[in-house]
Structure 1
Amino acid sequence: MKQKWYQIQIIPNDKQQENVPSEMEKSLIEELFDLAEKYYEKDVDKYEISYKKRDHDSRYLFKLSNSGTYSDKISSLVLLVQNSPLHSLKYLRLLNNMIKLPNRRISLMVIEVMRELYITELLPPNRKLRTFVQQPELPFLYDYYTRNIIAQPTNGKSLVKKTVPTKLTQETFESLLSILYFEHCLKRDVFSSFSLKLLTNFSSDQIQACKSAALLTLTQLLEYSPEGELSFLRCLVDKLADPDTKNGGLAAQCIRRVVTRHPNMKPAVLKEIKTLVFAKLLTNWNNKPSSREDTQGKIRERAILRIVTFVRSSFIMADKVKDSSLALEMVRMFFAIFKELLKRGEKNYPPKLMNSLFLGVNRAFPYLDPNDFSYGEIVQEIHIFFELANKMEFNNSIEILIFLYQVIFSEENESSQISNEDLNARYYKCLYRKVLDPQFKVSFKQDKLFNLLYKAIQRDTDLNRIKSFFKRLLTLCLSSPVPFTCGTLVILYEALEKLSSSQTASISHEDIFFPSRRCLTPDSDPVNDAAIVVPGGEKGIKKFDFGARDPRFAGDFEYFYEFYPLIKHFHPTVSLYANQLLVGKKLTYHGDPIRSFSLSNFLENFILKNPKSLSTTKHDDDATQETNATLADRIRMTKKSKRIKSFTNAPQAKRNKTSNEEARKPTDNDADDRIKTIFKSSSRKVMSFKKLSKIDFADDFVTGINKNNSKNKNKRRNSKSSFAKSSDTD
Structure 2
Amino acid sequence: MAAKNKHRKKSKKTNEVTFQAEDNEPEAENGGGGEEDEDLGGGEGQGKANGDDEEFSLEEVLRLGGTRADFVFLAGLNDTQELVDGGKKGAIDDLEEGELQQFITKLGIQAYSGQQIVTDEPESSAAAAAAAGGEKESKKAKAKKVSAEEQSTSAQPKVSEQKKTEQKTTKDVQVSAKKKIKLNTNVFEFQQRQVLLIKPGGKWFELEYSAEGSSELQDSSLVSQYKTLAEQLFEAEVNIYKSKKSLQKGANSTWMKTVVSSGVLADRMAAMTVLIQDAPVHMLEHVENLVSMVKKKGSRRMGLMAMDTLRELLLSSLLPENRKLRTFAQHPFDELEEKASGNRDARDRRLILWYFEHQLKHHVAEFVVALDSMAHDTVAATKAKALATAHELLCSRPEQEKALLIQVVNKLGDPEYKTAAKASYLLETLLHKHPNMKVVVCCEVERLMFRPNISPKAQYYAICFLSQVMLSHDETELATKLITVYFSFFRACVKKKDIESKMLSALLSGVNRAYPYASAVDDKVKEQLDTLFKVVHLVKFNTAVQALMLLFQVMDSQQSVSDRYYVTLYRKLLDPGLSSSSRQNMFLNLLYKSLKADVALRRVKAFVKRLLQVSAEQNASFACGALFLVSEVMKSKPGLKILLQEEKEGEEEEFKDLAEVNEDGDDEEERFVDADKLEEGASTETQEAKPTASWVHHQNLEGGRTLQSYDPLHRNPLFCGADHSTLWELQRVRHNKQTH
What residue is the counterpart of 2:631 in the other structure?
493
1:378-397 matches, cutoff 5 A: 378-397=525-544
Report if aligned partners of 1:440, 1:446 keep a CA contact under 8 Å in 2. Answer: yes
AA paired with 2:592? Y
- Alpha-carbon spacing, 1:8–1:112, altered in 2? closer, same or farther (3 Å): same
Matched, 1:170 2:344: yes
The structure 2 residue matched to 1:92, chosen from 275, 283, 287, is: 287
1:196 corresponds in structure 2 to 369
Q: Which moved more, 1:512-521 or 1:398-407?
A: 512-521
1:86 partner SS:
coil
Residues 213, 393 of structure 1: alpha-carbon distance in 2 compared, 3 angstrom cutoff: closer
> 1:240, 1:307 within 8 Å by CA — same for their partners in 2?
yes
Displacement of 1:386 in angstroms is 0.5
- 1:203 is displaced (CA, Å) by 1.3
Q: TM-score by structure 2 length?
A: 0.61
Instruction: Write out aligned runs for 1:439-454 (5 A).
Output: 439-454=577-592
Structure 2, unmatched stretches of 5+, are: 1-199, 655-705
Kindly tell me: are residues 187 and 542 of structure 1, through their superposed partners in 2, closer, same or farther at Cα, counting changes over 3 Å? same
Q: What code does the residue aligned with 1:325 have?
A: E
Q: 2:490 aligns with which of 338, 356, 359?
A: 338
Rounded Cα–Cα distance in structure 1 between residues aligned with 2:426 and 2:611: 47
> Paired residue for 1:127?
323
Tell me the residue number matched to 2:41.
none
> Of the candidates 221, 224, 232, which is equivalent to residue 27 of structure 1?
221
Q: Report Cα offsets for 1:280-317 as digits up to 9, x if no partner.
A: 466xxxxxxxxxxxxxxxxx33323322222323x223
* Equivalent-residue separation in structure 2 for 1:217 and 1:463 (angstroms): 60
The 1-side partners of 2:520 and 2:289 are apart by 55
Shift of 1:402: 0.9
Task: Say if 1:361 and 1:403, in contact at 8 Å, map to a contact too.
Answer: yes
Deviations 1:510-544 (A, max 9, x none): 3896999995999xxxxxxxxxxxxxxxxx97122
TM-score normalised by structure 1 residue count: 0.62
Q: Is the 8 A contact 1:61 1:76 kept in 2?
A: yes
Tell me the distance in 2 between the aligned counterparts of 1:86 and 1:567. 78
Given that 2:522 and 2:554 are in contact with CA atoms closer than 8 Å, whether structure 1 keeps it comes out as yes
Distance 2:489 2:533 in 1: 18
CA distance in 1, matches of 2:507, 2:424: 17
- Structure 2 residue aligned with 1:4: 203
Single out whichever of 350-359 and 269-278 deviates more from structure 2.
350-359
Match of 2:272 in 1: 77
Do the aligned partners of residues 68 and 482 (structure 1) sit closer, same or farther apart at CA in structure 2, a change above 3 Å counting?
closer
Is 1:510 equivalent to 2:676 in the alignment?
Answer: no
Aligned residues of 1:513 and 1:558 also touching (Cα < 8 A)? no
Distance (Å, rounded) in 2 between the aligned partners of 1:230 and 1:107 = 23
**What's the CA shift for 1:34?**
0.5
Equivalence map 1:25-174=2 (5 Å): 25-56=219-250, 57-99=252-294, 100-135=296-331, 137-141=332-336, 144=337, 167-174=341-348
Structure 2 counterpart of 1:550: 716
Which amino acid in the other structure matches residue 366 of structure 2? Answer: S
SS state at 1:409 partner: helix
Whether the 8 Å contact between 2:499 and 2:535 is mirrored in structure 1 is: no
Q: 1:482 Cα deviation (Å)? A: 5.4
Distance 1:31 1:563 in 2: 92
The Cα offsets for residues 523-574 of structure 1, whole Å up to 9 and x where unpaired, read as: xxxxxxxxxxxxxxxxx971223222222222375232625844984768xx
Query: What residue is the counterpart of 1:244 in the other structure?
Result: 416
* Residue 349 (structure 1) shift: 2.3
The CA deviation string for residues 333-353 of structure 1, in whole angstroms up to 9 with x for no partner, is 2222212211212xx324322
Q: How far 1:68 sits from its partner (Å)?
A: 4.0
- In the alignment, the residues of structure 2 paired with residue 209 and residue 357 of structure 1 have an alpha-carbon distance, to the nearest angstrom, of 31
Contact map agreement 1:119 1:221 (CA 8 A) in 2: yes
One-letter amino acid matched to 1:53: L
Asked whether the 8 Å contact 2:711–2:722 carries over to 1, the reply is no
Shift of 1:277: 0.7
Q: Does 1:271 align with 2:429?
A: no
> Partner letter of residue 316 of structure 1?
M
Partner of 1:352: 502
Task: Report sequence identity in percent.
Answer: 28
Matched, 1:187 2:353: no
Paired position in structure 1 for 2:550: 403
Give 1:484 deviation, angstroms: 4.4
Q: Which whole-Å CA distance do the structure 1 matches of 2:359 and 2:386 have between them?
A: 23
Amino acid at match of 1:87: H
Counterparts of 2:575 and 2:503 in 1: how far apart (Å)? 22
- 1:349 partner amino acid: I
What amino acid is the match of 1:495? V
Give the whole-Å Cα distance in 1 for the aligned partners of 2:371 and 2:589: 49
Q: Deviations over 1:101-125 (max 9, x none)?
A: 5221111111111111111111111
CA change 1:224–1:445 in 2 (3 A) is closer
- The amino acid across from 2:439 in the alignment is P
Deviation at 1:25, TM superposition (A): 3.3
Contact 2:602 2:718 in 1 (8 A): yes
Structure-2 change in CA distance of 1:229 and 1:446 (3 Å): same
Letter in 2 for 1:277: M
- For 2:380 and 2:730, the matched residues in 1 are separated by 65
Distance 1:451 1:273, change over 3 A: same
Task: Look at both structures and tell me which one has the larger radius of gyration over its CA atoms.
Answer: 2
Tell me which of 316, 333, 358 is aligned to 2:470.
Answer: 316
* Number of residue equivalences: 488
Distance, in Å, in 2 between the alignment partners of 1:302 and 1:103 is 32
